[in-house]
Chain A
Amino acid sequence: MPLLWTLTIVLLLGAAGYVLGRRRAIASAGGDVRLLHSLPGYYGTNVAMFTIVPALLVLSVWMLIQPMIIQSQITAMISDSAIEAAGSRDLVMTDVRRVANGLDSAIAEGGLTEDEARALRTDSSDIRARLAETGVALGGDVTPEVLNAAQQYRTLSRTGNLLLSATVLVLAGLGLGYAYSRTHQEFRARNAVERAILSILMLASTIAILTTVGIVFSMLFETFNFFQLYPWQDFFFGLEWRPSFEGGSDLGLIPLLWGTIYISIIALLVSVPIGLFAAIYMAEYSSKRTRSIVKPLIEVLAGIPTIVYGLFALITVGPMLRDYFAEPLGLGTSSSSVMTAGIVMGIMLIPFISSLSDDIINAVPQSLRDGSYGLGATQSETVKQVILPAALPGIVGAVLLAASRAIGETMIVVLGAGAAARLDLNPFEAMTTVTVKIVGQLTGDTDFSSPEALVAFALGLTLFVITLGLNVFALYIVRKYREQYE
């Protein structure tokens, strides 16, 4: 039975459970809703929950585990000689899966019947040709062993799926029955629903956390591989970035990190004052009408794709900076520069800072403003001494959000600052950042066992740690401030 059906039936059962539970609750109170412990809807929801939630949980866990089990069983069937012939176990398994899927789609299109598929033999028919008819292309001829494994694979999946549907449906039925039998006038359905909602919320946050952990671990794993091939001292303290795919490359982090930090700082220097002042103007000085025009206009900036900013950097800002500043000052002749990328990125970040800060400043209670004006303070004194301190935690948050965007930005850097890793103080030199190099190392033909490719994971992990540190630092500041003033 296809999965979708199982799912639909479970949901239908849930809906039926709702109606039944509700009805039974009302009946148990003799039709007088006021005698019930909870509103009738809660009884219905309770039954629906018991029907749906355990069934769906089992469904999702099963679907995660079943492929793993089948995989390991099939793998065990394949002989060493077949593996040697194909090159690696993974390749054989890929073949097996492709053939199995090919058979599936052939049956779905009517090219084969179920029995034919099961009876197929390599010696009696050209499987590759038959599958090609149904649109499944195979790399080579199918060996009897692979075909056999594929057929086995299909059988196992079918049994697994059947079992799954049966289990899930039985579970849903049991849940429904159990909750239904417990539905009674005295039953505290409202509390039960409350607890269930709590666990759903907790589940959601757990998933979010687990995903993060998963990402970190996958990165850690590859990074570990990288450090087996390349000494970590040379990575963290190396001053040269010179990858060469023939080997013997220098993969020093410092020039990339320096580029990242340099560009981000310039971007923040541009965006924080402009964004913050714009926010203060909008929130404190402008009339409602002006604000309703200015704010959306600024926010338009946020809707521009970064690649467009990149083009702006490439054809306008870069040459302009070169012609009017760098060359007259004798600071370089490159139109890609840290300055270009930094300024354009700063422009991109203005709406983040201004919009967030504006909301935060608006959230400062009017009574604080009144208090300050009532003591004879001017508007700017009030802003400086009362509003900004009160809004500071939020503003720090906005700035850090902007900082993480700046650190993670790639497009503007490629087009504005170039892709040459360099360690230099001159802001009119081309430099590049960590993210650009991550992309650079992983595009094109990459061999995932070479340090030149694996370094991307080390770079990614480093970035992750830096942004994490930034966030922790922000939290620390915010908390310290809170302790002091709240």
Chain B
Amino acid sequence: MNDMRVVERDVDINELKMKARDVDVFYGDIHAIKNVDVDIEDKTVTAFIGPSGCGKSTFLRCLNRMNDTIDICRVTGTITLDNEDIYDPKVDPVQLRAKVGMVFQKPNPFPKSIYDNVAYGPRIHGLSSNKADLDQIVERSLRRAALWNEAKDRLNEPGTGLSGGQQQRLCIARAVATNPEVLLMDEPCSALDPIATAQVEELIDELRSQYSVVIVTHSMQQAARVSQKTAFFHLGELVEFGETGHIFTNPDDPRTESYITGRIG
């Protein structure tokens, strides 16, 4: 924890992008998220940290209604995106997910070529007018995900043939290509080497100029490096949420302190 650099942060207040109030999530009888309130600001990186199984992924999946695909999962409370309730029956989850993109914990490239993987979102949402346009989107996304150099000569080869870390970057490129307003990343660097991790962190920092990013991570250093806000979850509860600098240097809750110094986990 000694090398933890708490970088200079612009503490200027950004406008609120997403707001969660009194969110509870149940998997059948399991109460996975207990009464959580979180604010996701625009043009900000928010980190979710906490021990394994505490509900980080579950909460992240609430933010783009991915939990709808799990039969036994029930979400209560309100979550808004730009002051609109995303669980309102009027809201189309498909539309929502185009705005709130997601990179999953496990890499899940489609059984298609690398090119088609990245072009998937733009094609569905009609983001390109012609082939050249699409080529450009694909190249830019792959570059941002730090995969271009490795992939540029094998764009037509299957995405599933890449290594685990490359697949994860492909999934990041795929999510970025759709141009979301909020990007949810569930442990995007867990399979990456330090170099690729640094590149992805750079990307996150770059994305911050336009979008808001929510990242789940088990690496305290990473949370400290890339995020401006940090939320610490423990056993389904949100223990502490605030400025990253504050959480890492001067946490209010003893549990947060023990976790970031490595005593519980």
Contact = CB atoms under 8 A, between A and B. Distances in A.
A385 B120 CA distance: 9
A375 B124 contact: yes
From A365, A376, A377, residue with most partner B Cβ within 10 Å? A376
Closest 8 A/B residue pairs (Cβ): A376-B98, A374-B102, A367-B108, A485-B111, A376-B97, A371-B108, A375-B121, A485-B158
5 contacts: A375-B97, A376-B94, A376-B96, A377-B120, A389-B110
A485 B110 CA distance: 9
Given A370-B69, A389-B112, A484-B158, A376 B121 contact: yes
Nearest to A389: B111
B55 interface: no
B110 A372 contact: yes
Interface stretch (B79-87, B170-178, B241-249): B170-178
A291 to B, nearest CB: 12
Nearest to B96: A376
Contacts of A381: 124
A446 interface: no
Contact of A374 (B104, B125, B158): B104
Contacts of A375: 97-98, 101-102, 120-121, 124, 174-175, 178
A71 interface: no
A370 B102 CA distance: 9
Contacts of A484: 113, 158
B124 A370 contact: no
B161 interface: yes
Interface string B153-168: 0000010110000000
B250 interface: no
Nearest to A485: B111
- Chain A interface secondary structure, helix, strand, loop or mixed? helix
Contacts of B112: 385-386, 389, 485
B205 to A, nearest CB: 22
B71 interface: yes
B178 A367 contact: no
Nearest to B64: A374
A367 B174 CA distance: 14
A373 B66 contact: yes
B123 to A, nearest CB: 8
A386 B125 CA distance: 16
Given A374-B97, A375-B102, A377-B121, 10 more contacts: A371-B108, A373-B69, A375-B120, A376-B96, A386-B110, A390-B110, A390-B111, A485-B111, A486-B111, A486-B158
Interface in B103-120: 104, 106, 108-113, 120
Contacts of B129: none
B160 A377 contact: no
A485 B114 CA distance: 10
A292 interface: no
B101 A370 contact: no
B52 to A, nearest CB: 19
A288 interface: yes
B130 interface: no
Given A375-B121, A375-B124, A381-B124, A370 B158 contact: no
A197 interface: no
A385 B110 CA distance: 9
A368 interface: yes
Interface of A: 288, 365-378, 381, 385-386, 389-390, 484-486
B2 interface: no
B94 A370 contact: no
B94 A372 contact: no
A367 B95 contact: no
What's the interface size class on B, roughly?
20 to 34
A367 B104 contact: yes
A196 B227 CA distance: 60
A485 B109 CA distance: 10
B66 A370 contact: yes
A300 to B, nearest CB: 26
B256 to A, nearest CB: 30
Nearest to B70: A366
Nearest to B111: A485
Given A389-B112, A485-B160, A486-B161, A370 B97 contact: no
Nearest to A483: B158
Interface string B111-148: 11100000011001100000000000000000000000
B58 to A, nearest CB: 13
Nearest to B171: A371
From B93, B104, B120, B125, residue with most partner A Cβ within 10 Å? B120
A390 B125 CA distance: 22
A331 B157 CA distance: 52
Nearest to B109: A371
A376 B110 contact: no
A485 B112 CA distance: 6
Nearest to A392: B111
Contacts of A374: 64, 66, 97, 101-102, 104, 175
A372 B161 contact: no
Contacts of B161: 486
A283 to B, nearest CB: 14
A398 B180 CA distance: 39
B48 to A, nearest CB: 17
Given A288-B71, A367-B108, A376 B120 contact: no
A210 B162 CA distance: 41
A376 B93 CA distance: 8
Contacts of A377: 94, 120-121, 124
Contact of B104 (A371, A389, A390): A371
Contacts of B108: 365, 367-368, 370-371
Contacts of B99: 376
A288 B100 CA distance: 28
Contacts of A288: 71
A379 to B, nearest CB: 8
B110 to A, nearest CB: 5
B94 A378 contact: yes
Contact of A376 (B95, B109, B171): B95
A286 B256 CA distance: 44
Contacts of B104: 367, 370-371, 374
A398 B64 CA distance: 36
A444 B161 CA distance: 60
Nearest to B175: A375
Nearest to A367: B108
